[in-house]
Structure 1
Amino acid sequence: MSLPSQVSPPQIALADVAPTRVVGADLVAVPFAADDDGLSLGPGAAELLDEVDLDVFALLEHAKATGKAGEVVEHVLLSRAGLSNGSLRSLLFVGVGAGTPDDLRRAGAAVARRAKGRETLATSIPALSDDAGLRAFVEGLVLGSFGFHRRSTGPKETPVARVVLAGLDDIGTRQVALDRALAVAGAGWMSRMMALVPSNEKNPVWMAERAEEIAKSAGLSIEVWDEKRLVAEGFGGIVGVGQASENPPRMVKLEYTPKKAGRKVPHVVLVGKGITFDTGGLSIKPGDAMMNMKRDMTGGGVVMAVLGALADVDCPVRVTGLIPCAENSVSGNAMRPGDVLRHYGGRTSEVTNTDAEGRLVMADALAYAVAELEPDVLVDVATLTGAMKLALGQRTGGFFSTDDALADLIRTAGQAAGEPLWRMPLAEDYEERLESKIADADNAAGGPGAIIAALFLQHFTGGLPWVHLDIASVGDSPVDAHEWTMGATGFGARALLHWLELREPLAGVTG
């Protein structure tokens, strides 16, 4: 089942003319900021004031504008006499703070919200900055435009249809930055979209079908395990979690190889949790806690979106994505507390809480990667523990790592992408809590929850350099805030792509 028709991101182009000279633009946005002398206007403002009789500073003073990033003051034109562009209807003056990439990302998202329903926006805001700032502005603009609906009457709002980034020099060079920004923002859009699809439409088979579509469009190779093959090859965690559902489990493998890959090109394996709905199983969740569980496959959606964008960001390393997919349901065939599951490769887990299911499916995929794929680095991403949300709130993702260089690369990429990550400790003092009297480990060995879950997964990583992203803290945004729209965030896609586009994504990593 394909996704029903949804709103699309704006079409974005570059131009070297002033924003007021973009033919057909009904909305123009120019930047302003605060400095030691008060407020100042940025690129595009001089050309604008040559055509419009307006005391901008009086307007900003009346609005009590401060110039902080994302602040927007609108002026509706009552007369269009003398304008070079007769389509122009409104002006936006947009605060850009200090002009950092984070500030421009916020400005882009704010402009996107104010431009909804418009036909064409022309803006000179990216002319303030280098390629990093342009990319951040575009990512904010695209993701601030995001919308999702299942209304019979169509969406309540539509993004601005067309955006022209005006007043730019070196259009050819800037096009490279724009293309990368669109690829990264598109991956964020896709992962967000997949997480919002309701679970009466989205199940493990649906996930595999979406992966096949991505593979076809991005030129990836794909392999899918059905429920019979999962049983036959010993994926006991995936099978156990998924056995209660009428929707059978799947595991998806997507493979990307760079165009000029040699035999020694490094190999990264990404593993994404694909729980398409989580009731908690027999250790059932309270009703309110189930409301967001359609997005418990966020990690899997992130991995699929990242694989689909790797060619567009010219990723220089081989990347394999593994997405173990299951629906954690309740039935007479459900996995029970006290059951013992045998994972791929033979390690066993005693199930003391069926609601700690994500680590069970992730363990199978990690063990398969170590045994069969010869990776240089493992990275997994999952909405895994409520404990991470308690620790970090809803604006910062948590991660664990066994390699300092890899941790620094991932953290820096997250910062550049606007998806901040905080490194958590793999505290060995808690390892003894994983002990089970009858199996190799207890799947729910108490607190501290996020650390215990990470220690559980570490046993399946084969001693390889490994990063575990626990994005349960940031899987949902409670409100519209900057580039985040209320609901599922798809957090992680941008951070991983900012990392994997580096010329040396594994620089300094020790195998």
Structure 2
Amino acid sequence: MSLPAHFPALKAIPADLKSALSSEIIALGFVEVENADASAEKEFKLVGSTLLLKSIAETFGIDLIDELKFFTPSGKAGESFELPISAPDAKSDRLLLVGLGDQSIAALRAAGATIGRKVKGKSQSIATFCATTDSHVTAHAISATMGAYLWNLKSGPKPLKPTIYLSISTLALKRALAVSAAVWRARDLVHTPANIKTPAWVAANAKLVAKERNISIKILAGKELAQFGGLSAVGNSSRKSPPRFIEITYAPKGSSNWPHVVLVGKGITFDTGGYSLKRPYDIMMAMKTDMAGAAAVLCVVSALPELAPRVRVTALLMCAENAVSGTAQRPSDVITHFGGTTTEVLDTDAEGRLVLADGLAYADLKLKPDYLIDIATLTGAATLSLGKQYAAMYSRDDKLAATFYELGDKSGDRVWRMPLVDEYTDCLESEIADQKNIGGKSGYGAGSVTAALFLEKFVGNRKWVHFDIAGTGRSEVDAGENPKGGTGFGVRLLTTWISSL
């Protein structure tokens, strides 16, 4: 598949002097040397090929450790110090010394993000020798591209494309390219403003993915959505941007007996809150990102032909705009979801669960998957306990939850398991429908938990996991791996998990 615009060129090189000198910037990693005497001066060492490090020092006539000490480093992962260098016949004019902390995979990701940010938007080349094992180099490479991410609609000159060289195997490079390009695409989708990004626009992009990847797609609109009461109730609020149901499937020839995973993504292209209007209004400013779940599942599927897992994967994108209009749903409406379950709508700003419910019920009743996963920027309540670094995870399956927790740390998309508190289900009971869409004035105050309990009613007996990414799907600051705005959260986690099945 064609790479996103301005995506960095990732290239494999040997860990030797000739390769290092062919780049404009050479990045080397350093760590603090353990010392039993806490009062002693900190000592540091460089990481990587002893021969390469010696050759670089001799070529540029510098003592790398002495130069590093000049900056009084802390040893923290991701910190960096820049040295001007020059030598005959060397393209390199700068040396970047990057802290590797404890040399964990998380530390290598932090270092990668620093390296990516160094060349972001520039036509510069950087060769990094910070990571040594394939798993670390892959994570390092993905984070470097994430750090280099840029997106805007400015009319001036377009950002330039950097080149990132790594000592990496062909297989690891292929995986790094597939996953990082998928994260990049997801971010592009999330950042696109809602006057462009209608449900129809998302469907058109999904069609493009299906065509380029030679995978199947089905799109429903208009009267075809009659059975999808939640999606229709939310999406019919906008005549300009009516709803779409998008089903896109990775199922290579001969895969009929492979495990089947269904991913359901919330795709609210803009969320005003409906008649339960968001207040104050500036809360709406970030609501073009309310389709981050749908972006993630689409881009996961886009990466699978390269990753080639022995798993069938279907992504369901439940796309709608939640607008205020004469055709918008009202508080007190009762809607009928796919499969017949009814919901009394008390809050039109709790719309994400309404569209997800249709997708989950459709997956359970029609697709009958082995695993059913949903991902959504669902509740602000999820951020109250976990903040912006962990997504809330809900599941009844202990083994599956433990796997996702482990792979979250491994991939960088970290998750924390939250409880499905059965005692809270009574707050969703309705006198006129099967359930209400919010807990109301129950006194429980567990909005993320009750949202998950609402969704659980639609998953049957499937192995199900719900990810609430309200805190992690968007970033309020431009730092580390993430830009301000869409993060692409979930792509790394889900591709890693699917590849492990």
**What is the TM-score when the length of structure 1 is the normalising length?**
0.91
CA distance, structure 1, for counterparts of residue 383 and residue 53 of structure 2: 43
What residue is the counterpart of 1:339 in the other structure? 333
SS in structure 2 at match of 1:332: coil
AA at the equivalent of 1:268 = V
Q: Shift of the alpha carbon at 1:58?
A: 2.9
> RMSD value over aligned CA atoms?
1.7
CA distance, structure 1, for counterparts of residue 24 and residue 487 of structure 2: 30
Q: Does 1:404 align with 2:369?
A: no
What residue is the counterpart of 1:163 in the other structure? 164
After the TM superposition, which segments of 4 or more aligned residues of structure 1 sit over 3 Å from their partners? 19-24
What residue is the counterpart of 1:509 in the other structure? none
What residue is the counterpart of 2:306 in the other structure? 312
CA distance, structure 1, for counterparts of residue 105 and residue 274 of structure 2: 43
Task: Give yes or no for contact 2:20–2:26 (8 Å, CA) kept in 1.
Answer: no
CA distance, structure 2, for counterparts of residue 278 and residue 133 of structure 1: 39
CA distance, structure 1, for counterparts of residue 494 and residue 87 of structure 2: 49
CA distance, structure 2, for counterparts of residue 76 and residue 280 of structure 1: 53
AA at the equivalent of 1:68 = K
Q: 1:273 aligns with which of 251, 266, 273?
A: 266
Question: Which stretch of the first structure deviates more once superposed, 294-303 or 49-58?
Answer: 49-58
SS in structure 2 at match of 1:199: coil
Unpaired runs of at least 5, structure 2: 36-42
What residue is the counterpart of 2:196 in the other structure? 201
What residue is the counterpart of 1:192 in the other structure? 187
What residue is the counterpart of 1:215 in the other structure? 210
SS in structure 2 at match of 1:310: helix
Q: Shift of the alpha carbon at 1:273?
A: 0.4
What residue is the counterpart of 1:438 in the other structure? 432
Task: Give yes or no for contact 2:271–2:287 (8 Å, CA) kept in 1.
Answer: yes
Distance 1:67 1:470, change over 3 A: same
Task: Give yes or no for contact 1:340–1:349 (8 Å, CA) kept in 2.
Answer: yes
Q: 2:368 aligns with which of 346, 370, 374?
A: 374
SS in structure 1 at match of 2:480: coil
Task: String of CA shifts for 1:458-496, please: whole Å, max 9, x gaps.
Answer: 010012110000000112212233211222112111100
Q: Does 1:145 align with 2:148?
A: yes
Task: String of CA shifts for 1:203-258, please: whole Å, max 9, x gaps.
Answer: 10011001101111122100000122102xx1111110011102110000001114
Distance 1:438 1:19, change over 3 A: farther
Task: Give yes or no for contact 1:18–1:124 (8 Å, CA) kept in 2.
Answer: no
Distance 1:444 1:81, change over 3 A: closer
What residue is the counterpart of 1:97 in the other structure? 101
* Pairing of 1:175-186 with structure 2 (within 5 A): 175-186=170-181
Unpaired runs of at least 5, structure 1: 169-173, 506-511
SS in structure 1 at match of 2:307: coil
CA distance, structure 2, for counterparts of residue 19 and residue 348 of structure 1: 67
What residue is the counterpart of 1:71 in the other structure? 79
AA at the equivalent of 2:482 = W
Distance 1:313 1:280, change over 3 A: same
Q: Shift of the alpha carbon at 1:361?
A: 0.5
Task: Give yes or no for contact 1:20–1:48 (8 Å, CA) kept in 2.
Answer: no
What residue is the counterpart of 1:295 in the other structure? 289
What residue is the counterpart of 1:465 in the other structure? 463
Q: Shift of the alpha carbon at 1:381?
A: 0.4
How many residue pairs get aligned? The number is 483
CA distance, structure 1, for counterparts of residue 342 and residue 68 of structure 2: 65
AA at the equivalent of 2:470 = A
Question: Which stretch of the first structure deviates more once superposed, 107-116 or 21-30?
Answer: 21-30
Q: 2:349 aligns with which of 343, 346, 355?
A: 355
Q: Shift of the alpha carbon at 1:20?
A: 5.2
Q: Does 1:57 align with 2:65?
A: yes
What residue is the counterpart of 1:390 in the other structure? 384
What residue is the counterpart of 1:244 in the other structure? 237
What residue is the counterpart of 1:364 in the other structure? 358
Task: String of CA shifts for 1:131-190, please: whole Å, max 9, x gaps.
Answer: 1101110011010000110111145x5452x12214x6xxxxx21011111211111111
CA distance, structure 1, for counterparts of residue 115 and residue 486 of structure 2: 21
Q: Shift of the alpha carbon at 1:122?
A: 1.7
Q: Percent identity?
A: 41
SS in structure 2 at match of 1:54: coil
Task: Give yes or no for contact 1:195–1:294 (8 Å, CA) kept in 2.
Answer: yes
What residue is the counterpart of 2:126 in the other structure? 121
**What is the TM-score when the length of structure 2 is the normalising length?**
0.93
CA distance, structure 1, for counterparts of residue 57 and residue 409 of structure 2: 37
CA distance, structure 2, for counterparts of residue 187 and residue 495 of structure 1: 12
Task: Give yes or no for contact 1:20–1:122 (8 Å, CA) kept in 2.
Answer: no
Distance 1:248 1:19, change over 3 A: farther
SS in structure 1 at match of 2:242: coil
SS in structure 2 at match of 1:276: strand
What residue is the counterpart of 2:40 in the other structure? none
What residue is the counterpart of 2:137 in the other structure? 134
Q: Shift of the alpha carbon at 1:119?
A: 2.3
Task: Give yes or no for contact 2:292–2:473 (8 Å, CA) kept in 1.
Answer: yes
Task: Give yes or no for contact 2:380–2:471 (8 Å, CA) kept in 1.
Answer: yes
Task: Give yes or no for contact 1:236–1:364 (8 Å, CA) kept in 2.
Answer: yes
Task: Give yes or no for contact 1:341–1:349 (8 Å, CA) kept in 2.
Answer: yes
CA distance, structure 2, for counterparts of residue 315 and residue 21 of structure 1: 33
